[in-house]
Amino acid sequence: MKVLVVDDDPGSLMVAKAVVEQSGYECLSATNGDAAWDLFQEYQPQVVVTDWMMPGLDGLQLCKAIRSGETDTYTYLVLLTSFGSQDDVLAGMDAGADDYVTKPLDPFTLRTRLLVARRVTSLHAQLGRYRQELTRQARTDPLTNLDNRLKLSEDLELLHNRSLRYGTRYSLALCDVDYFKSFNDLLGHPAGDEALKAVAQTLTRLSRDTDGIYRYGGEEFLLILPGQEADDAEAAVERIRSGIEALAIAHYGNPLQVLTISAGISTFTADHQVGSGQLLKEADDALYSAKAGGRNRVASFVRAG
């Protein structure tokens, strides 16, 4: 555990540093609030033990600054004060302090506060990991481990806004497994699930690291291809289509006797700045064209006129 001690009184600072180090924790120190704030931003200690009255930011201001900048982490704040009135204690807590210790500093008292701080910060770290995992799960398709439609909507909005601002291009590719209902009917849903996982793995293997790959729903997958014009996107998706056909997954409901996909591509360009919703519709229209054209093929959206 990393502890930042802040005090402009040399004697009090020396005692606090000794307690921290004897307790087995890493210690940072500062003699004023401004220097403490710089150290906090650079090293992100789990615990801050700060004097109330000191040059630069005072203890209350430092506590408020730390609390206002917190996101997924939590810093345990101990306020050192010569003031012991209830109003002063409440003012410190309102500023974000978790606990307070009156001066002159008693080493035993500070050591007990550090034990509490370790437990609290450990609990917050564990909760933070749980939150991150829940956030990941909420944006991940459980079958294929690809990102899901929630993550797609977030990523597509970011990319679309960036493309509008900087005039860059990108393409979408909506892919659909051909005759998938008959695959499930003939081989069963467990086999269908395995086939979808194999398709997802192939999409990942044959895509660029910068591409986004999403389970769009059922047997549909969507690719976001940053920086790709229609021709480049079509070549990339054709490579994926060919790779999935080469898996040679038996599919007796498909005239080719193996699992295949069809795909539709739409492209955002400087002269075709439609909304992301319209772009998704265009990819869907292009997919319909690929299906109507015989399946196991890639089609790009063609604008009228």
pLDDT in tens, 208-237: 999 999 999 999 999 999 999 999 999 999
- Residue 41 and residue 38: Cα distance in Å, rounded? 5
Question: Which DSSP category does 147 fall into?
Answer: B
Sign of the dihedral through C-alpha 93, 96, 98, 104: negative
208 φ/ψ angles, rounded to the nearest 5 degrees:
-75, 160
Strands (E), 132-219: 170-177, 212-217
Residue 32 near residue 8 (C-beta atoms within 8 A) = yes
Which residue ranges does the chain devote to CATH 3.30.70.270? 149-300
Domain 149-300 in CATH 3.30.70.270: yes
Q: Which band of pLDDT confidence, cut at 50, 70 and 90, is reported for residue 304?
A: low
Cα 89 from Cα 56, distance rounded (Å) = 21
pLDDT of residue 72: 73
For 45-69, write each residue's pLDDT tens digit.
999 999 988 999 998 999 999 998 7
User: Which amino acid is located at 41 in the chain?
Assistant: Q
167-183: pLDDT as tens digits: 999 999 999 999 999 99
Among candidate residues 219, 220, 229, 282, the one labeled active-site is 219
219 is catalytic: yes
At 92, the pLDDT band (50, 70, 90 cuts) reads confident
Rounded to the nearest 10°, the torsion over CA 111, 117, 119, 124 is -170
Residue ranges of the chain assigned to CATH 3.40.50.2300: 2-138
Give domain 2-138's CATH superfamily: Response regulator (3.40.50.2300)
Please check the confidence at residue 305 and state whether its pLDDT lies above 70. Answer: no
Task: Identify the sign of the CA torsion 214, 216, 221, 224.
Answer: negative
Q: Is the pTM of this model over 0.75?
A: no
